[in-house]
Amino acid sequence: MTRYKAPRGTSDLVFPDSEKMERLIETACALMRERGYRRIDTPILEDTELFARSIGEETDIVTKEMYNFEDRGGESLTMRPEGTAPVVRAYLERGLASRGLPVKVYYVGPMFRRERPQAGRFRQFTQIGGEAIGSEDPFLDAEIISFSDALFARLGLERYRLLVNSVGCRECRPAYVDRLRSFLEAMKGGLCEQCVRRTDTNPLRVFDCKNERCRATLKGAPTIGEHLCPRCREHFDALLGHLDTMGMTFEVDERMVRGLDYYTNTAFEFQFEGLGAQNTVCGGGRYDGLTEELGGPPTPGVGYSMGLERLLMALEAEGLDPFVPERLQVFLAAAPGVQREPVLDLLGRLRAEGISADTDFMGRGLKAQMKQADRLGARVVVMIGEEELASGEVTLRDLDASEQWRVPAKGLVERIRQIL
Ligand code: ATP
Ligand code: MG
Protein backbone atom coordinates (compact mmCIF):
# COMPACT_ATOMS: atom_id res chain seq x y z
CA MET A 1 0.00 0.00 0.00
CA THR A 2 0.96 3.58 -0.53
CA ARG A 3 -0.81 6.80 0.29
CA TYR A 4 -0.29 7.93 -3.30
CA LYS A 5 -3.02 7.40 -5.85
CA ALA A 6 -3.18 7.92 -9.61
CA PRO A 7 -4.80 11.35 -10.14
CA ARG A 8 -8.59 11.45 -10.39
CA GLY A 9 -9.84 10.44 -13.82
CA THR A 10 -6.59 8.63 -14.68
CA SER A 11 -5.69 5.02 -14.05
CA ASP A 12 -2.96 2.47 -14.44
CA LEU A 13 -3.45 -0.02 -17.20
CA VAL A 14 -2.17 -3.32 -15.89
CA PHE A 15 -1.72 -6.69 -17.61
CA PRO A 16 -3.67 -8.33 -19.14
CA ASP A 17 -5.72 -5.17 -19.91
CA SER A 18 -2.59 -3.27 -20.90
CA GLU A 19 -1.81 -6.04 -23.38
CA LYS A 20 -5.29 -5.89 -24.86
CA MET A 21 -4.80 -2.17 -25.38
CA GLU A 22 -1.41 -2.82 -26.97
CA ARG A 23 -2.88 -5.37 -29.38
CA LEU A 24 -5.80 -3.11 -30.19
CA ILE A 25 -3.37 -0.31 -31.03
CA GLU A 26 -1.31 -2.67 -33.21
CA THR A 27 -4.40 -3.88 -35.05
CA ALA A 28 -5.76 -0.38 -35.62
CA CYS A 29 -2.39 1.04 -36.74
CA ALA A 30 -1.86 -1.87 -39.16
CA LEU A 31 -5.26 -1.15 -40.66
CA MET A 32 -4.37 2.52 -41.13
CA ARG A 33 -1.14 1.55 -42.89
CA GLU A 34 -3.06 -0.82 -45.18
CA ARG A 35 -5.03 2.24 -46.29
CA GLY A 36 -1.93 4.25 -47.13
CA TYR A 37 -1.77 6.34 -43.94
CA ARG A 38 1.65 7.12 -42.43
CA ARG A 39 2.49 7.62 -38.78
CA ILE A 40 2.81 11.04 -37.18
CA ASP A 41 3.66 11.88 -33.56
CA THR A 42 3.15 15.38 -32.27
CA PRO A 43 4.08 16.63 -28.77
CA ILE A 44 1.76 16.21 -25.80
CA LEU A 45 2.28 19.92 -25.05
CA GLU A 46 1.22 22.68 -27.42
CA ASP A 47 0.70 26.42 -27.23
CA THR A 48 -2.65 27.01 -25.54
CA GLU A 49 -3.54 29.38 -28.35
CA LEU A 50 -3.48 26.55 -30.92
CA PHE A 51 -6.43 24.82 -29.28
CA ALA A 52 -8.29 27.95 -28.22
CA ARG A 53 -8.25 29.19 -31.82
CA SER A 54 -9.08 25.99 -33.63
CA ILE A 55 -11.50 24.15 -31.35
CA GLY A 56 -13.45 27.31 -30.67
CA GLU A 57 -14.81 29.46 -27.85
CA GLU A 58 -17.88 28.05 -26.09
CA THR A 59 -16.92 24.48 -26.86
CA ASP A 60 -16.78 22.11 -23.86
CA ILE A 61 -13.08 21.59 -24.39
CA VAL A 62 -12.03 25.23 -24.45
CA THR A 63 -14.39 26.56 -21.78
CA LYS A 64 -13.77 23.96 -19.11
CA GLU A 65 -11.73 20.92 -20.06
CA MET A 66 -8.25 22.02 -21.06
CA TYR A 67 -5.26 21.28 -18.85
CA ASN A 68 -3.37 24.49 -19.39
CA PHE A 69 -0.67 26.02 -17.27
CA GLU A 70 1.97 28.66 -17.34
CA ASP A 71 5.39 27.07 -17.52
CA ARG A 72 8.44 28.42 -15.72
CA GLY A 73 9.22 30.70 -18.64
CA GLY A 74 5.74 32.24 -18.54
CA GLU A 75 4.43 30.52 -21.66
CA SER A 76 0.89 29.17 -21.64
CA LEU A 77 0.98 25.48 -22.59
CA THR A 78 -1.81 22.93 -22.86
CA MET A 79 -1.74 19.15 -22.64
CA ARG A 80 -3.37 18.18 -25.91
CA PRO A 81 -7.11 17.49 -25.62
CA GLU A 82 -7.32 16.25 -29.22
CA GLY A 83 -5.12 15.44 -32.18
CA THR A 84 -6.36 17.29 -35.24
CA ALA A 85 -5.13 20.81 -34.47
CA PRO A 86 -1.61 19.53 -33.63
CA VAL A 87 -1.50 17.51 -36.86
CA VAL A 88 -2.59 20.47 -38.96
CA ARG A 89 -0.04 22.65 -37.14
CA ALA A 90 2.66 20.09 -37.97
CA TYR A 91 1.44 19.86 -41.57
CA LEU A 92 1.97 23.61 -41.93
CA GLU A 93 5.11 23.95 -39.82
CA ARG A 94 6.91 21.03 -41.49
CA GLY A 95 5.66 21.83 -44.98
CA LEU A 96 4.24 18.35 -45.42
CA ALA A 97 2.32 19.50 -48.51
CA SER A 98 5.60 19.28 -50.44
CA ARG A 99 5.60 15.52 -49.94
CA GLY A 100 2.58 15.20 -52.21
CA LEU A 101 -1.13 15.56 -51.63
CA PRO A 102 -3.17 14.28 -50.03
CA VAL A 103 -1.09 13.93 -46.89
CA LYS A 104 -2.58 10.92 -45.10
CA VAL A 105 -1.39 10.43 -41.52
CA TYR A 106 -2.45 8.64 -38.33
CA TYR A 107 -1.56 9.14 -34.70
CA VAL A 108 -2.18 7.27 -31.49
CA GLY A 109 -1.62 8.38 -27.92
CA PRO A 110 -2.99 9.97 -24.77
CA MET A 111 -5.33 12.97 -24.73
CA PHE A 112 -6.21 15.05 -21.68
CA ARG A 113 -9.49 16.71 -20.74
CA ARG A 114 -10.53 17.83 -17.29
CA GLU A 115 -13.96 16.20 -17.33
CA ARG A 116 -16.10 14.79 -14.56
CA PRO A 117 -14.87 11.20 -14.44
CA GLN A 118 -17.47 8.49 -15.00
CA ALA A 119 -17.83 5.24 -16.90
CA GLY A 120 -16.23 5.77 -20.29
CA ARG A 121 -15.15 9.32 -19.46
CA PHE A 122 -11.67 9.92 -18.15
CA ARG A 123 -9.24 12.79 -17.78
CA GLN A 124 -6.54 10.91 -19.63
CA PHE A 125 -7.66 8.63 -22.45
CA THR A 126 -6.21 7.13 -25.60
CA GLN A 127 -7.16 8.06 -29.13
CA ILE A 128 -6.21 6.78 -32.52
CA GLY A 129 -6.96 9.27 -35.24
CA GLY A 130 -6.43 9.75 -38.94
CA GLU A 131 -6.20 12.92 -41.02
CA ALA A 132 -6.27 13.27 -44.80
CA ILE A 133 -5.21 16.75 -45.84
CA GLY A 134 -5.26 18.37 -49.26
CA SER A 135 -8.27 16.99 -51.12
CA GLU A 136 -11.95 17.88 -51.25
CA ASP A 137 -12.91 14.55 -52.78
CA PRO A 138 -15.92 13.16 -50.88
CA PHE A 139 -14.45 9.73 -51.44
CA LEU A 140 -11.78 10.73 -48.90
CA ASP A 141 -14.54 11.42 -46.35
CA ALA A 142 -15.88 7.96 -47.11
CA GLU A 143 -12.44 6.40 -46.70
CA ILE A 144 -12.01 8.09 -43.31
CA ILE A 145 -15.46 6.94 -42.19
CA SER A 146 -15.00 3.41 -43.46
CA PHE A 147 -11.90 2.87 -41.31
CA SER A 148 -14.09 2.37 -38.23
CA ASP A 149 -16.30 -0.02 -40.11
CA ALA A 150 -13.28 -2.05 -41.20
CA LEU A 151 -11.77 -2.08 -37.71
CA PHE A 152 -15.05 -3.11 -36.07
CA ALA A 153 -15.42 -5.93 -38.61
CA ARG A 154 -11.92 -7.14 -37.84
CA LEU A 155 -12.73 -7.15 -34.13
CA GLY A 156 -16.04 -8.92 -34.62
CA LEU A 157 -18.18 -5.94 -33.50
CA GLU A 158 -21.53 -5.75 -35.25
CA ARG A 159 -24.05 -3.74 -33.27
CA TYR A 160 -23.24 -0.10 -33.90
CA ARG A 161 -24.78 2.91 -35.60
CA LEU A 162 -23.18 5.37 -37.96
CA LEU A 163 -24.66 8.86 -37.87
CA VAL A 164 -23.75 11.37 -40.56
CA ASN A 165 -24.62 14.99 -41.16
CA SER A 166 -23.46 18.04 -43.03
CA VAL A 167 -22.84 21.12 -40.91
CA GLY A 168 -22.46 23.40 -43.94
CA CYS A 169 -19.67 25.79 -44.78
CA ARG A 170 -18.70 29.43 -44.42
CA GLU A 171 -21.13 30.27 -47.21
CA CYS A 172 -24.27 28.59 -46.00
CA ARG A 173 -23.85 28.15 -42.26
CA PRO A 174 -24.22 31.82 -41.22
CA ALA A 175 -27.79 32.06 -42.57
CA TYR A 176 -28.70 28.87 -40.77
CA VAL A 177 -27.02 30.01 -37.55
CA ASP A 178 -29.07 33.25 -37.71
CA ARG A 179 -32.28 31.27 -37.98
CA LEU A 180 -31.21 28.98 -35.17
CA ARG A 181 -30.38 32.01 -33.03
CA SER A 182 -33.84 33.53 -33.58
CA PHE A 183 -35.39 30.21 -32.58
CA LEU A 184 -33.24 29.98 -29.46
CA GLU A 185 -33.98 33.56 -28.46
CA ALA A 186 -37.67 32.79 -28.59
CA MET A 187 -37.15 29.64 -26.51
CA LYS A 188 -34.78 31.08 -23.90
CA GLY A 189 -36.99 29.91 -21.05
CA GLY A 190 -36.33 26.28 -21.98
CA LEU A 191 -32.54 26.57 -22.07
CA CYS A 192 -29.81 26.20 -19.46
CA GLU A 193 -27.58 29.15 -18.56
CA GLN A 194 -24.75 27.98 -20.79
CA CYS A 195 -27.06 27.56 -23.78
CA VAL A 196 -28.52 31.02 -23.25
CA ARG A 197 -24.95 32.31 -23.43
CA ARG A 198 -24.25 30.17 -26.48
CA THR A 199 -27.29 31.67 -28.21
CA ASP A 200 -25.26 34.87 -28.46
CA THR A 201 -21.78 33.55 -28.93
CA ASN A 202 -21.99 30.20 -30.74
CA PRO A 203 -25.55 28.89 -31.28
CA LEU A 204 -24.54 25.62 -32.98
CA ARG A 205 -22.97 24.48 -29.72
CA VAL A 206 -26.39 24.13 -28.07
CA PHE A 207 -26.68 20.80 -29.86
CA ASP A 208 -23.79 19.49 -27.71
CA CYS A 209 -25.71 20.19 -24.49
CA LYS A 210 -26.47 17.08 -22.48
CA ASN A 211 -29.16 18.80 -20.36
CA GLU A 212 -32.54 17.04 -20.82
CA ARG A 213 -34.56 20.28 -20.83
CA CYS A 214 -32.36 21.81 -23.53
CA ARG A 215 -32.65 18.64 -25.58
CA ALA A 216 -36.43 18.77 -25.38
CA THR A 217 -36.44 22.45 -26.37
CA LEU A 218 -34.22 21.70 -29.35
CA LYS A 219 -36.64 19.15 -30.76
CA GLY A 220 -38.38 21.96 -32.62
CA ALA A 221 -35.20 23.73 -33.74
CA PRO A 222 -34.62 24.40 -37.43
CA THR A 223 -32.15 21.95 -38.93
CA ILE A 224 -29.34 22.64 -41.31
CA GLY A 225 -30.34 20.30 -44.12
CA GLU A 226 -32.57 22.72 -45.99
CA HIS A 227 -29.98 25.53 -45.66
CA LEU A 228 -27.06 23.79 -47.30
CA CYS A 229 -25.61 25.59 -50.32
CA PRO A 230 -25.48 23.66 -53.60
CA ARG A 231 -21.79 22.79 -53.13
CA CYS A 232 -22.31 21.39 -49.63
CA ARG A 233 -25.42 19.54 -50.75
CA GLU A 234 -23.59 18.02 -53.70
CA HIS A 235 -20.63 17.00 -51.53
CA PHE A 236 -22.90 15.46 -48.92
CA ASP A 237 -24.99 13.56 -51.49
CA ALA A 238 -21.83 12.24 -53.13
CA LEU A 239 -20.56 11.07 -49.74
CA LEU A 240 -23.82 9.25 -48.98
CA GLY A 241 -23.60 7.59 -52.39
CA HIS A 242 -20.04 6.43 -51.67
CA LEU A 243 -21.05 5.04 -48.27
CA ASP A 244 -23.83 3.13 -50.01
CA THR A 245 -21.44 1.76 -52.59
CA MET A 246 -19.12 0.63 -49.81
CA GLY A 247 -22.01 -1.24 -48.23
CA MET A 248 -22.17 0.87 -45.08
CA THR A 249 -25.44 1.41 -43.24
CA PHE A 250 -25.92 4.96 -41.92
CA GLU A 251 -28.50 7.39 -40.63
CA VAL A 252 -28.57 11.10 -41.42
CA ASP A 253 -28.95 12.95 -38.10
CA GLU A 254 -29.33 16.69 -38.61
CA ARG A 255 -28.82 17.44 -34.90
CA MET A 256 -25.41 15.80 -34.77
CA VAL A 257 -22.94 18.68 -35.07
CA ARG A 258 -19.90 17.35 -33.11
CA GLY A 259 -18.29 19.34 -30.31
CA LEU A 260 -15.64 21.20 -32.29
CA ASP A 261 -16.01 24.45 -34.16
CA TYR A 262 -13.70 23.68 -37.03
CA TYR A 263 -15.92 21.14 -38.74
CA THR A 264 -17.32 22.06 -42.15
CA ASN A 265 -19.68 19.97 -44.20
CA THR A 266 -19.22 16.32 -43.20
CA ALA A 267 -19.66 15.32 -39.56
CA PHE A 268 -20.08 11.76 -38.37
CA GLU A 269 -20.01 9.52 -35.35
CA PHE A 270 -20.18 5.85 -34.46
CA GLN A 271 -22.25 4.77 -31.47
CA PHE A 272 -22.58 1.52 -29.56
CA GLU A 273 -25.92 1.02 -27.83
CA GLY A 274 -24.48 -1.16 -25.09
CA LEU A 275 -22.23 1.56 -23.67
CA GLY A 276 -24.80 3.69 -21.82
CA ALA A 277 -24.44 7.46 -21.83
CA GLN A 278 -20.89 7.47 -23.19
CA ASN A 279 -21.75 5.54 -26.31
CA THR A 280 -19.83 7.45 -28.99
CA VAL A 281 -16.67 5.58 -29.83
CA CYS A 282 -15.54 7.51 -32.88
CA GLY A 283 -16.23 10.92 -34.32
CA GLY A 284 -14.90 13.11 -37.04
CA GLY A 285 -15.54 15.23 -40.03
CA ARG A 286 -14.24 17.71 -42.56
CA TYR A 287 -12.33 20.83 -41.54
CA ASP A 288 -11.77 22.79 -44.72
CA GLY A 289 -11.22 26.09 -42.88
CA LEU A 290 -8.77 24.92 -40.24
CA THR A 291 -5.46 25.44 -42.05
CA GLU A 292 -6.44 29.04 -42.77
CA GLU A 293 -7.50 29.54 -39.18
CA LEU A 294 -3.98 28.49 -38.21
CA GLY A 295 -2.40 30.91 -40.68
CA GLY A 296 -1.80 28.57 -43.62
CA PRO A 297 -3.09 28.56 -47.19
CA PRO A 298 -6.65 27.30 -47.77
CA THR A 299 -6.40 23.52 -47.64
CA PRO A 300 -9.23 21.02 -47.22
CA GLY A 301 -8.97 18.17 -44.74
CA VAL A 302 -10.98 15.40 -43.20
CA GLY A 303 -10.32 13.15 -40.20
CA TYR A 304 -11.59 10.97 -37.39
CA SER A 305 -10.62 10.18 -33.83
CA MET A 306 -11.55 7.12 -31.86
CA GLY A 307 -11.51 6.53 -28.11
CA LEU A 308 -9.76 3.23 -27.50
CA GLU A 309 -10.89 2.76 -23.88
CA ARG A 310 -14.48 3.03 -25.06
CA LEU A 311 -13.77 0.59 -27.88
CA LEU A 312 -12.39 -1.94 -25.38
CA MET A 313 -15.54 -1.40 -23.29
CA ALA A 314 -17.67 -2.10 -26.36
CA LEU A 315 -15.78 -5.35 -26.94
CA GLU A 316 -16.35 -6.34 -23.35
CA ALA A 317 -20.04 -5.43 -23.47
CA GLU A 318 -20.42 -7.68 -26.52
CA GLY A 319 -18.53 -10.50 -24.81
CA LEU A 320 -15.77 -10.37 -27.43
CA ASP A 321 -12.15 -11.07 -26.60
CA PRO A 322 -10.25 -11.04 -29.89
CA PHE A 323 -6.91 -10.56 -28.18
CA VAL A 324 -5.77 -13.83 -26.69
CA PRO A 325 -2.77 -12.93 -24.51
CA GLU A 326 0.50 -14.29 -25.81
CA ARG A 327 1.78 -17.27 -23.82
CA LEU A 328 5.23 -17.79 -22.48
CA GLN A 329 6.69 -20.57 -24.59
CA VAL A 330 9.32 -22.05 -22.30
CA PHE A 331 9.94 -21.97 -18.56
CA LEU A 332 13.30 -23.26 -17.37
CA ALA A 333 13.03 -24.91 -13.97
CA ALA A 334 16.35 -25.74 -12.39
CA ALA A 335 16.50 -28.03 -9.35
CA PRO A 336 17.94 -26.38 -6.23
CA GLY A 337 21.71 -26.61 -6.29
CA VAL A 338 22.05 -26.57 -10.09
CA GLN A 339 24.62 -24.04 -11.32
CA ARG A 340 23.36 -20.81 -12.93
CA GLU A 341 25.59 -21.09 -16.02
CA PRO A 342 23.83 -23.93 -17.90
CA VAL A 343 20.46 -22.35 -17.14
CA LEU A 344 21.49 -18.91 -18.38
CA ASP A 345 23.15 -20.47 -21.42
CA LEU A 346 19.97 -22.29 -22.43
CA LEU A 347 17.82 -19.24 -21.67
CA GLY A 348 20.07 -17.15 -23.93
CA ARG A 349 19.93 -19.68 -26.78
CA LEU A 350 16.14 -19.91 -26.68
CA ARG A 351 15.70 -16.14 -26.62
CA ALA A 352 18.20 -15.70 -29.44
CA GLU A 353 15.98 -18.05 -31.49
CA GLY A 354 12.99 -15.81 -30.83
CA ILE A 355 11.41 -18.31 -28.43
CA SER A 356 9.99 -16.60 -25.36
CA ALA A 357 11.61 -18.03 -22.25
CA ASP A 358 11.77 -17.28 -18.56
CA THR A 359 13.19 -18.86 -15.43
CA ASP A 360 13.10 -18.72 -11.64
CA PHE A 361 14.57 -15.73 -9.84
CA MET A 362 13.20 -16.42 -6.37
CA GLY A 363 15.23 -19.48 -5.38
CA ARG A 364 12.11 -21.65 -5.33
CA GLY A 365 11.94 -25.42 -5.17
CA LEU A 366 10.95 -27.40 -8.28
CA LYS A 367 7.31 -27.74 -7.28
CA ALA A 368 6.90 -23.99 -6.70
CA GLN A 369 8.65 -23.36 -10.03
CA MET A 370 6.11 -25.58 -11.79
CA LYS A 371 3.40 -23.46 -10.23
CA GLN A 372 5.09 -20.31 -11.48
CA ALA A 373 5.34 -21.83 -14.99
CA ASP A 374 1.63 -22.47 -14.84
CA ARG A 375 0.90 -18.91 -13.67
CA LEU A 376 2.87 -17.58 -16.64
CA GLY A 377 0.85 -19.76 -19.00
CA ALA A 378 3.98 -21.57 -20.17
CA ARG A 379 3.61 -24.16 -22.91
CA VAL A 380 6.76 -26.14 -22.17
CA VAL A 381 8.85 -26.58 -19.03
CA VAL A 382 12.48 -27.63 -19.24
CA MET A 383 13.57 -29.22 -15.97
CA ILE A 384 17.25 -29.24 -15.28
CA GLY A 385 18.50 -31.51 -12.50
CA GLU A 386 22.07 -32.20 -11.37
CA GLU A 387 21.90 -35.86 -12.27
CA GLU A 388 20.39 -35.13 -15.71
CA LEU A 389 22.96 -32.45 -16.36
CA ALA A 390 25.75 -34.93 -15.63
CA SER A 391 24.38 -37.28 -18.30
CA GLY A 392 23.86 -34.43 -20.78
CA GLU A 393 20.07 -34.59 -20.62
CA VAL A 394 17.11 -32.55 -19.43
CA THR A 395 13.44 -33.30 -18.81
CA LEU A 396 10.99 -31.71 -21.19
CA ARG A 397 7.38 -31.32 -20.13
CA ASP A 398 4.58 -30.38 -22.50
CA LEU A 399 2.09 -28.69 -20.17
CA ASP A 400 -0.79 -28.85 -22.62
CA ALA A 401 -0.41 -32.55 -23.35
CA SER A 402 0.72 -33.39 -19.78
CA GLU A 403 3.49 -35.52 -21.19
CA GLN A 404 7.18 -35.51 -20.42
CA TRP A 405 10.35 -36.96 -21.85
CA ARG A 406 13.98 -37.11 -20.94
CA VAL A 407 15.87 -35.73 -23.92
CA PRO A 408 19.50 -34.95 -24.80
CA ALA A 409 20.44 -31.35 -24.01
CA LYS A 410 21.96 -31.20 -27.48
CA GLY A 411 19.31 -30.45 -30.08
CA LEU A 412 16.95 -29.27 -27.34
CA VAL A 413 16.00 -26.06 -29.12
CA GLU A 414 14.93 -28.03 -32.23
CA ARG A 415 12.94 -30.44 -30.09
CA ILE A 416 11.15 -27.52 -28.40
CA ARG A 417 10.39 -25.99 -31.79
CA GLN A 418 8.65 -29.22 -32.80
CA ILE A 419 6.40 -29.04 -29.76
CA LEU A 420 5.55 -25.37 -30.23
P1 ATP B 1 -18.43 13.37 -25.81
O2 ATP B 1 -19.65 13.94 -26.44
O3 ATP B 1 -18.60 11.95 -25.32
O4 ATP B 1 -17.81 14.26 -24.77
P5 ATP B 1 -16.58 14.41 -27.71
O6 ATP B 1 -17.43 15.00 -28.77
O7 ATP B 1 -15.99 15.28 -26.69
O8 ATP B 1 -17.36 13.22 -26.98
P9 ATP B 1 -14.39 13.87 -29.49
O10 ATP B 1 -13.70 15.09 -29.09
O11 ATP B 1 -14.98 13.80 -30.84
O12 ATP B 1 -15.49 13.48 -28.38
O13 ATP B 1 -13.41 12.63 -29.28
C14 ATP B 1 -13.48 11.45 -30.09
C15 ATP B 1 -13.64 10.22 -29.24
O16 ATP B 1 -12.71 10.22 -28.17
C17 ATP B 1 -14.97 10.10 -28.56
O18 ATP B 1 -15.92 9.57 -29.43
C19 ATP B 1 -14.66 9.14 -27.43
O20 ATP B 1 -14.61 7.80 -27.88
C21 ATP B 1 -13.28 9.57 -27.04
N22 ATP B 1 -13.33 10.47 -25.87
C23 ATP B 1 -13.56 11.80 -25.85
N24 ATP B 1 -13.51 12.27 -24.60
C25 ATP B 1 -13.24 11.21 -23.79
C26 ATP B 1 -13.03 11.05 -22.40
N27 ATP B 1 -13.10 12.07 -21.56
N28 ATP B 1 -12.76 9.81 -21.93
C29 ATP B 1 -12.68 8.74 -22.76
N30 ATP B 1 -12.85 8.84 -24.09
C31 ATP B 1 -13.12 10.05 -24.61
MG1 MG C 1 -16.51 15.85 -24.74
The ligand whose atoms approach the alpha carbon of 210 most closely is 1
Whether the per-residue pLDDT at 281 is higher than 90: the answer is: yes
Domain span(s) for CATH 3.30.930.10 in the chain: 17-172+228-317
Q: What is the pLDDT of residue 415?
A: 92
Average pLDDT over residues 401-409: 92
Q: What is the pLDDT of residue 410?
A: 87
Average pLDDT over residues 149-166: 97
- Three-state secondary structure along the chain? CCCCCCCCCCCCCCCCHHHHHHHHHHHHHHHHHHCCCEECCCCCEEEHHHHHHHHCCCCHHHHHHCEEEECCCCCEEEECCCCHHHHHHHHHHCCHHHHCCCEEEEEEEEEECCCCCECCECCEEEEEEEEEECCCCHHHHHHHHHHHHHHHHHHCCCCEEEEEEECCCCCCHHHHHHHHHHHHHHCHHHCCHHHHHHHHHCHHHHHHCCCHHHHHHHCCCCCCHHHCCHHHHHHHHHHHHHHHHCCCCCEECCCCCCCCCCCEEEEEEEEEHHHCCCCEEEEEEECCCHHHHCCCCCCCEEEEEEEHHHHHHHHHHCCCCCCCCCCCCEEEEECCCCCHHHHHHHHHHHHHCCCCEEECCCCCCHHHHHHHHHHCCCCEEEEECHHHHHCCEEEEEECCCCEEEEEECCCHHHHHHHHC
Q: What is the pLDDT of residue 277?
A: 81
Average pLDDT over residues 369-375: 96
Average pLDDT over residues 43-56: 94
Q: What is the pLDDT of residue 56?
A: 85
The ligand whose atoms approach the alpha carbon of 284 most closely is 1
Return the CATH number of 330-419, one of 3.40.50.880, 3.40.50.800, 3.40.640.10, 3.10.20.340.
3.40.50.800
Q: Are strands 124-133 and 76-79 parallel, antiparallel or unpaired?
A: unpaired
Q: What is the pLDDT of residue 369?
A: 97
Q: What is the pLDDT of residue 60?
A: 85
Where residue 164 falls among pLDDT bands split at 50, 70, 90? very high
Q: What is the pLDDT of residue 102?
A: 98
For a pocket test of ligand 1, which of 151, 310, 311 has the largest count of ligand atoms closer than 8 A to its C-beta? 310
Q: What is the pLDDT of residue 148?
A: 98
Average pLDDT over residues 328-338: 95
- Give, using CA atoms, the residue closest to atom 26 of ligand 1: 121
Q: What is the pLDDT of residue 389?
A: 84
The answer, yes or no, to whether any atom of ligand 1 lies below 6 A from the CB of 205, is no
Average pLDDT over residues 129-146: 98
Is the domain covering 17-172+228-317 a CATH 3.30.930.10 domain? yes
Whether the per-residue pLDDT at 304 is higher than 90: the answer is: yes
Q: What is the pLDDT of residue 294?
A: 95
Whether the per-residue pLDDT at 306 is higher than 80: the answer is: yes
Domain span(s) for CATH 3.40.50.800 in the chain: 330-419
Query: How confident is the model over 260-279, as pLDDT tens digits?
Result: 778 899 999 999 988 888 89
The answer, yes or no, to whether any atom of ligand 1 lies below 6 A from the CB of 127, is yes
Q: What is the pLDDT of residue 59?
A: 84
